[in-house]
C-alpha cells in the first residue's frame, strides 16, 4: 500500500508501540493542573443515580474506590466494562479469522516495507520494528487450539511455507508463551451514549485489524468529542443531544471503514482459508492497482479515514478555563 501520493506532509505510517504512545499522552496531559492519572487500577462498574451515570467505580491494590464526574467517557476498548455496564445496544459482525502475534529478529538490509505473504490456508503480515519483525499469523476463526495441539514444529514449518526467508530465525519461537492470540471481533453500538456516559473508540465500535486503522478511528472519535463537548462541559450542562451529536458526526465514517474491512475479509481472507493452493488477488483488486485514481483509495481510507476531524481549540477567554468535569475509563 503506497502512501507517497497522498496530499500530506507525512506520506508514511509511523509505527509506535502502544505503551510509548500512552506515555506520550500522559506527559502532555500532565501539563494541566487538573489532570489526574490512576495507575494499576481496574474499572469495575459505573456509578448511577436516577438513571444518570455519575462516574465510575474502580479497584486498585488499596481496595475499591469511586470517582464522580459530570461526564464519563468509555474508552476502555473492545472488552469495555463501561459499555457493558451501560447496557447499550449493538450489532455484531462475524470476522472469519483470528491472529497469532509473535516476533522474530530482523536482519540489516532487509526491506522496511510491510510484507504480506499469502499461502494455502494462512497468511502472514510482517511489520518492521527496527531490530525485529512483528508478525501477524492470520488463521481461521477458532483454529487456535487445533494449531497449538499440532505442536511448535508444525507451526514453524507452516511459517516457512509462505516466508522461507525466515528459515534461519523461526527457531527463535521456543514456546507458545511467545505467540499471543488476538481473537478478532467486530461490532458497533447502535447508540453510543446514555445520560452521563459516552463510548468512543473500540468501546463504541470494535474494528477488525484489517488496515490497522483502529487507533486512527479512536483518535478521530476523541477529536470530534472534544470539539463538540467542550462548551457543554464548560457550562457544566451536558445533554444527551450533545452526546448524540458526537455519534452523528462519527458513525458514518465508522460504518464505511467497517464495510471496507468486511469486504477485504470476505473477498481475500476467507477464500485464502478455503484454498488448496496459494491464492492470488481478486481480479477487481488487480484492476484497481493499475488505475492511479482508484489505487489511491485504500491508502486514503487507511491514512485519513472518512470525514477526518481537526482539532478546534477554544479561543482564549471563550470559556476555555474551567475544571474538566469528565472522567475517562481506559
What share of the chain has pLDDT > 70, as a percent? Answer: 85
CA pair distance 161, 280, nearest whole angstrom: 15
pLDDT at 256 over 50: yes
- DSSP class of residue 140? E
pLDDT at 200: 97
Predicted pLDDT of residue 327: 52
When pLDDT is cut at 50, 70 and 90, the band that residue 269 belongs to is confident
Which position has the grid cell 506532509? 9
pLDDT in tens, 172-229: 999 999 999 998 888 999 999 999 999 999 999 999 888 778 888 999 999 999 999 9
Q: Is the pLDDT of residue 320 over 50?
A: no
**155 in helix, strand or coil?**
helix
CA distance 305 to 214: 10
Query: What average pLDDT does the segment 60-74 reach?
Result: 95
Among 181, 194, 158, smallest CA distance to 52 is for 194
Instruction: Return the higher-pLDDT residue of 305 and 139.
Output: 139
Q: How confident is residue 131, by pLDDT bands cut at 50, 70 and 90?
A: confident
pLDDT surpassing 90 at residue 157: yes
Could you tell me which residue, 161 or 113, shows the higher pLDDT? 161
Residue 127 bridge partners (DSSP): 134
Instruction: With beta carbons less than 8 A apart as the criterion, state whether 136 and 125 touch.
Output: yes
Residues whose CB falls within 8 Å of the CB of residue 218, separated by 6 or more in sequence, listed in order: 75, 200, 201, 202
7-16, 28-37, 219-228, 311-320, range with greatest mean pLDDT: 219-228
Q: Which grid cell sits at 26?
A: 500522559
Contact of 194 with 46, CB cutoff 8 Å: no
What is the CA 190 to chain-centroid distance, rounded? 19
d(CA 276, CA 278): 7
| DSSP for 187-213, written as a single string | EEES--EETTEEE-GGGT-PPPSGGG-
Supply the mean pLDDT for the chain. Answer: 85
Q: Grade residue 37 by pLDDT with cuts at 50, 70 and 90.
A: very high
| pLDDT for position 286 | 61
Strands 326-329 and 71-74: parallel
Q: Is it the case that residue 325 has pLDDT exceeding 60? A: no
Amino acid at each position: 500500500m503506497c502512501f507517497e501520493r497522498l496530499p500530506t506532509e507525512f506520506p508514511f505510517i509511523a509505527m509506535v508501540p502502544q505503551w510509548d504512545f500512552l506515555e506520550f499522552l500522559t506527559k502532555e496531559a500532565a501539563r494541566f493542573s487538573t489532570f489526574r492519572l490512576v495507575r494499576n487500577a481496574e474499572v469495575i462498574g459505573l456509578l448511577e443515580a436516577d438513571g444518570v451515570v455519575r462516574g465510575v467505580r474502580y479497584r486498585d491494590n488499596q481496595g475499591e474506590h469511586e470517582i464522580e464526574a459530570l461526564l464519563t467517557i468509555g474508552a476502555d476498548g473492545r472488552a469495555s466494562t463501561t459499555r457493558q455496564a451501560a447496557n447499550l445496544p449493538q450489532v455484531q459482525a462475524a470476522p472469519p479469522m483470528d491472529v497469532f502475534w509473535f516476533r522474530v529478529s530482523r536482519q540489516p538490509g532487509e526491506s522496511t516495507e510491510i510484507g504480506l505473504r499469502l499461502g494455502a490456508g494462512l497468511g502472514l503480515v510482517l511489520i518492521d520494528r527496527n531490530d525485529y519483525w512483528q508478525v501477524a499469523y492470520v488463521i481461521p476463526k477458532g483454529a487456535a487450539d487445533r494449531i497449538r495441539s499440532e505442536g511448535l514444529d508444525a507451526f514453524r514449518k507452516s511459517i516457512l511455507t509462505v516466508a522461507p526467508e525466515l528459515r534461519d530465525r523461526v527457531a527463535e519461537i521456543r514456546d507458545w508463551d511467545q505467540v499471543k492470540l488476538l481473537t478478532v471481533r467486530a461490532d458497533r453500538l447502535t447508540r453510543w451514549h446514555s445520560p452521563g456516559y459516552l463510548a468512543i473508540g473500540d468501546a463504541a465500535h470494535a474494528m477488525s485489524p484489517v488496515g490497522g486503522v483502529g487507533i486512527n478511528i479512536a483518535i478521530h472519535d476523541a477529536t470530534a468529542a472534544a470539539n463538540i463537548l467542550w462548551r457543554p462541559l464548560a457550562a457544566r450542562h451536558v445533554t444527551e443531544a450533545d452526546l448524540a451529536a458526537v455519534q452523528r458526526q462519527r458513525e458514518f465514517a465508522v460504518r464505511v471503514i467497517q464495510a471496507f474491512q468486511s469486504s477485504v475479509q470476505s473477498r481475500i481472507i476467507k477464500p485464502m482459508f478455503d484454498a488448496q493452493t496459494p491464492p492470488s488477488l481478486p481480479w477487481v483488486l488487480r484492476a484497481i492497482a493499475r488505475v492511479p485514481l482508484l489505487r489511491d483509495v485504500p491508502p486514503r481510507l487507511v491514512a485519513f479515514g472518512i470525514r477526518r476531524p481537526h482539532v478546534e481549540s477554544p479561543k482564549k477567554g471563550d470559556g476555555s478555563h474551567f475544571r474538566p468535569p469528565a472522567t475517562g475509563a481506559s
